[in-house]
Amino acid sequence: MPGRTWKLCLLLLLGLGLGSQEALPPPCESEIYCHGELLHQVQMAKFYQDDKQFVDMPLSIAPEQVLQTFTELSRDHNHSIPREQLQAFVQEHFQAKGQELQPWTPADWKDSPQFLQKISDAKLRVWAGQLHQLWKKLGKKMKPEVLSHPERFSLIYSEHPFIVPGGRFVEFYYCYGHVPNGGRVYYLQRSQPPLLTLMMDCYLTHTNDTTFLQENIETLALELDFWTKNRTVSVSLEGKNYLLNRYYVPYGGPRPESYSKDTELADTLPEGDREALWAELKAGAESGWDFSSRWLIGGPNPNSLSGIRTSKLVPVDLNAFLCQAEELMSKFYSRLGNDSQATKYRTLRAQRLAALNAVLWDEETGAWFDYDLENKKKNQEFYPSNLTPLWAGCFSDPGVADKALKYLEDSRILTYQYGIPTSLQKTGQQWDSPNAWAPLQDLVIRGLAKAPLPRAQEVAFQLAQNWIRTNFDVYSQKSAMYEKYDISNGGQPGGGGEYEVQEGFGWTNGVVLMLLDRYGDRLTSGSQLAFLEPHCLVAALLPSLLFSLLSR
């Protein structure tokens, strides 16, 4: 990683844009997992339905020996190894995916946690117990050989056990100066959205473990430094400059885990534009929204993934996450008695709040919008991420919750019965309509639930009820939880994008259990009801208000 860091710095100092024909550095040095002829020939042979399968397979022998054998085989066949022989080479030199992991159950595991007893609906209570058991299925730890022979694995060694998301995602998410897109060497140059500081806050809330905070506060600072140094962009408006952040991954070549798809997509473009495409695809993956109309709108080709332009947009959610992290860091340093660092992060948060208000907030609409750096305007399409500052507590106007609620009404989002759509665009990408994703439900539901308005809190509950019933109904049919859901026709496993819908699934399970914990005394497993039209919201509030009055 250090070698790559100085090259990145050099690129930035030279001012090389992503549109340049200059070759960008590969995502890592490995000529097996990150770049090179072996990776190219195997992935383009398409032995596996999902390209990620190959780059997650451990080596049977040392990488030098694998490369030497491959080089000789390739030379003997004029750099085009016949399919059967190439497949035999892979089978001989690589092990099956997942061999480096073994099951793990947390030492403090409780079969029947206390929150289950708060769930009134008997069917939901049984279901929640089944979901709780899935954590044991998703718990993993690494085998000793990952430590003794790290060169044979794309997986990065961790001594600590972890929870995997499920399906094709059999790796951890860990801090490495930042939190990589995944715990594999080919992910190291892209981050996850910056939520590590929030995780620390959740941990402290439950444990009050100030010693752990003291031991790891500098690790949290490293993550925020990564975003400051590598992902900052200046926006000039009305004579003022505002510093905000974007997703940006100036590393070349196809994504190893989607190699054949990226290569074929690049073949539709002039050769000089391919490196820029691959960098933008990596930035889209860094955002978590891989892929969406959100990263296509505003460009010359908004209907094709080849027109992706992630780094040209200043995202609402990313900057709200960082605003929240800066506020938490100020709180953490105050708790540890470091006033100078507390002041530093308090100042950073105030600066970002001013930038959010000036650049991303739209008073007329009552929401925040991604800012297009090239076209110098907001992207006013609907995405749940438009309300992330409400969830993150990153606003100064006390009336913002009421405005956000009106925005949801005006956008007709509250008429969707089975969940909040990811967008209103149908592109075939997985982060668009008709898919709905658990983390995005959480952003809106908890954002509204935090508001002091009873009306906003009731809408939050109704949205939670819709999402719980969708997940429960699909689980009742399929006996599985999914990473995303199609909400167009009664709720089904989601679709679209680059791979089949995955079972598991970490964040889906987590959001459902969080909602059951919060609203368990009110949620039901009964038949789905359409969400009320905006003008009927007052009627929706009457039963709860009457109950409140009668209970006094």
- The three-state secondary structure class of 101 is strand
What is the Cα–Cα distance from 468 to 131, expressed in whole angstroms? Answer: 13
Peptide bond into 531 cis (omega under 30): no
Whether 520 is covered by a domain: the verdict is: yes
CB 359 within 8 A of CB 235: yes
483 catalytic, yes or no? yes
Which of 105, 211, 207, 110 is CA-nearest to residue 162? 105
Whether 497 is covered by a domain: the verdict is: yes
Number of Cβ atoms within 10 Å of the Cβ of 543: 10
CA dihedral 363, 364, 365, 366 (to 10 degrees): 30
Which of 269, 297, 268, 267 is CA-nearest to residue 284? 297
Whether 362 is covered by a domain: the verdict is: no
The number of distinct structural domains making up the chain is 1
* Catalytic annotation, pick one of 31, 100, 483, 486: 483
Whether 490 is covered by a domain: the verdict is: yes
Q: Which residue range forms the structural domain that includes residue 134? A: 114-139+397-532
Whether 211 is covered by a domain: the verdict is: no
Whether 123 is covered by a domain: the verdict is: yes
**pLDDT (tens place) for every residue of the chain, 552 residues total:** 333 333 333 333 333 334 445 789 999 999 999 999 999 999 999 999 999 999 999 999 999 999 999 999 999 999 999 999 999 999 999 999 999 999 999 999 999 999 999 999 999 999 999 999 999 999 999 999 999 999 999 999 999 999 999 999 999 888 888 999 999 999 999 999 999 999 999 999 999 999 999 999 999 999 999 999 999 999 999 999 999 999 999 999 999 999 999 999 999 999 999 999 999 999 999 999 999 999 999 998 898 999 999 999 999 999 999 999 999 999 999 999 999 999 999 999 999 999 999 999 999 999 999 999 999 999 999 999 999 999 999 999 999 999 999 999 999 999 999 999 999 999 999 999 999 999 999 999 999 999 999 999 999 999 999 999 999 999 999 999 999 999 998 899 999 999 999 999 999 999 999 999 999 999 999 865 545 454 444 434 433 333 333 333
363 catalytic, yes or no? no
Number of Cβ atoms within 10 Å of the Cβ of 129: 14
* Catalytic annotation, pick one of 223, 275, 290, 442: 290
Whether 485 is covered by a domain: the verdict is: yes
CB 420 within 8 A of CB 490: no
Whether 347 is covered by a domain: the verdict is: no
Task: Please state, in angstroms and as integers, the Cα–Cα distance from residue 425 to each residue in 54, 143, 409, following that order.
Answer: 33, 44, 18
Which of 384, 386, 382 is CA-nearest to residue 360? 386
CB 293 within 8 A of CB 497: no
Task: Please state, in angstroms and as integers, the Cα–Cα distance from residue 208 to each residue in 131, 325, 493, following that order.
Answer: 27, 18, 39
Q: What are the backbone dihedrals phi and psi of residue 304, each rounded to the nearest 5 degrees, phi first?
A: -130, 145
Alpha helix stretches (DSSP H) within 486-536 = 506-519
pTM of the model: 0.91
